[in-house]
Amino acid sequence: MTKTLNIGMVGYGFMARAHSNAWANVSHFFETGYRPALKAIVGRNVSKVRRVADMFGYESVETDWRVLIERKDIDAIDVCVPNDLHAEISIAAAKAGKMVLCEKPLARTEAEGLPMVDAVEKAGVPNMVWYNYRRVPAVMLIKQMVESGRLGKIFHYRAKFLQDWTISPDVPQGGAGTWRLDVEAAGSGVTGDLLAHCLDTAIWINGSLDSLTAMTETFVKERKNAETGAMQRVGIDDAAAVLTRFQNGSLGTFESTRYARGHKAGYTLEINGEKGSLSWDLHDLNRVQFFDHSVAGAQRGWTNILVTDGDHPYLGKWWVPGLIIGYEHSFTHQVADFLDGLKTGKPAAPSFRDALETTRVCDAIIASGKSGQWISL
């Protein structure tokens, strides 16, 4: 028997739309035993939130998240608001006994995230953080190949997340579309927004970091506040680069920026091992590049795997070989895994606790960017 899972969405922006789509379409493709119901969506601006509610078919609209959390007809709270609100809402939801799904990064700092972990663990509620790129089939394939030993001992892990949307000094900070430039709301700049994705994937695939040193920069020192119009000092990092040693002895390099012209969502990663290498690019997210050193010399090279076949992760649920999927599907897969986890009792990773590690590394990057020192993790 299929059970209904009543979803309460907090937020109605870009990420809330991505999550809503996943809740709405997961049952069309995955038979998990659960059918999400889009029960309610919260936003302070009632006309704007109603428009999103109408589009996705949410049954009701609220303007106060506290009211949502008090509602008995809600099973799971999905937190899709700026980072500075993650902790309060998540903790309240956990205390109310709701499942909590929080947008990444977990919190602005480890200190802020720790009570969130405590809250969900104390409440014993299923919890998850939306590091969605783990569920891109190509990335999952990489995880499986590394785990099965196809690369052997790992020497290098390399990841970048490049964007170019804040180059103009006229982009304001704060406000609906630009809260990511406001250090109060975001906690950090590219480190928490972009590097956090790279780090989550890296730790998942290659294990924990041992130590790191970082360089951070704020290219545009002052920006107008989107709401007040006043010029303000910019507190976020516009760019960050990291040298790191993993606990398994491999070396890592990470870089992120919003000042790399021509890159929009330029998340790339590469792993070099004794027996082979793997790489991936979010812009062509259905492809994995695999160098297999075991192939005969004259025919060896980088194999461009189009990850669309039925024996690729998640792909058996979609179309036929050769037909690609997109960005949003990673969320559908995350929901499917979350629902599967409810059935098996083993909620899908990353949990709040898993995600806390990534936030701890982000803190170290910001600190090292200031001190210039190596930091042990």
Binds a copy of itself (CB under 8 A): choice among 84, 88, 210, 328: 328
Cα-based torsion angle of the residue sequence 45, 47, 51, 52 in order, rounded to the nearest 10 degrees: 10
- Least separation in angstroms between residue 369's CB and a copy of itself is 10
Binds a copy of itself (CB under 8 A): choice among 27, 60, 225, 232: 27
Closest CA to 205 of 126, 255, 136: 136
- Least separation in angstroms between residue 149's CB and a copy of itself is 13
Closest CA to 215 of 354, 14, 369: 369
Q: Which residue has the tokens 């299929």?
A: 2
Q: Which residue number, 187 or 273, has a Cβ lying nearer to a copy of itself?
A: 273
Pull the structure tokens for residue 335: 């929901």
In order, the DSSP letters of 187-239 are SSSHIIIIIHHHHHHHHHHH--EEEEEEEEE-SS-EEEBTTT--EEE--S-SE
Q: Which residue number, 66 or 264, has a Cβ lying nearer to a copy of itself?
A: 264
- Please state, in angstroms and rounded to a whole number, the distance separating the CA atoms of residues 75 and 97: 8
Q: Under a CB-based contact definition with an 8 Å cutoff, are residues 139 and 133 in contact?
A: yes
Of residues 82 through 101, those in contact with a copy of itself by CB under 8 A are none
Which x/- pattern over 232-261 shows residues binding a copy of itself (rule: CB under 8 A)? -------x-xxxxx-----x-x-x-x-xxx
3-state secondary structure 290-311: EEECCCCHHHCCEEEEECCCCC
Q: Does residue number 2 form part of the binding site for a copy of itself (CB under 8 A)? A: yes
Binds a copy of itself (CB under 8 A): choice among 1, 170, 229, 311: 311
In order, the DSSP letters of 322-363 are T----TTHHHHHHHHHHHHHHHHT-PPSPPHHHHHHHHHHHH
Which x/- pattern over 269-298 shows residues binding a copy of itself (rule: CB under 8 A)? ---xxxxxx----xxxxx-x-xxxx-x-xx
Of residues 107 through 166, those in contact with a copy of itself by CB under 8 A are 141, 145, 151, 155-156, 158, 162-165
- Least separation in angstroms between residue 28's CB and a copy of itself is 5
Sign of the CA dihedral 243, 249, 358, 194?
positive
Pull the structure tokens for residue 49: 């939130």
Q: Which residue number, 77 or 220, has a Cβ lying nearer to a copy of itself?
A: 220
Q: Does residue number 210 form part of the binding site for a copy of itself (CB under 8 A)? A: no
Binds a copy of itself (CB under 8 A): choice among 45, 208, 327, 343: 327
Q: Which residue number, 15 or 123, has a Cβ lying nearer to a copy of itself?
A: 15
Closest CA to 222 of 174, 154, 256: 174
Binds a copy of itself (CB under 8 A): choice among 170, 230, 299, 376: 299
- Least separation in angstroms between residue 286's CB and a copy of itself is 8
- Least separation in angstroms between residue 211's CB and a copy of itself is 9
- Please state, in angstroms and rounded to a whole number, the distance separating the CA atoms of residues 304 and 279: 10
Binds a copy of itself (CB under 8 A): choice among 104, 108, 312, 353: 312
SS3 content of the chain, % helix, strand, coil (to 5): 40, 25, 35
Q: Does residue number 217 form part of the binding site for a copy of itself (CB under 8 A)? A: yes
- Least separation in angstroms between residue 95's CB and a copy of itself is 32
Which x/- pattern over 43-72 shows residues binding a copy of itself (rule: CB under 8 A)? -----------xxxx---------------
- Least separation in angstroms between residue 255's CB and a copy of itself is 6
Closest CA to 72 of 90, 109, 98: 98
Pull the structure tokens for residue 104: 């990444």
Q: Does residue number 376 form part of the binding site for a copy of itself (CB under 8 A)? A: no
Q: Which residue number, 59 or 274, has a Cβ lying nearer to a copy of itself?
A: 274
Pull the structure tokens for residue 31: 């038979």
- The interface region with a copy of itself, picked from 27-35, 80-88, 92-100, 111-119 by CB under 8 A, is 27-35
Q: Does residue number 33 form part of the binding site for a copy of itself (CB under 8 A)? A: no
Cα-based torsion angle of the residue sequence 367, 370, 373, 377 in order, rounded to the nearest 10 degrees: 10
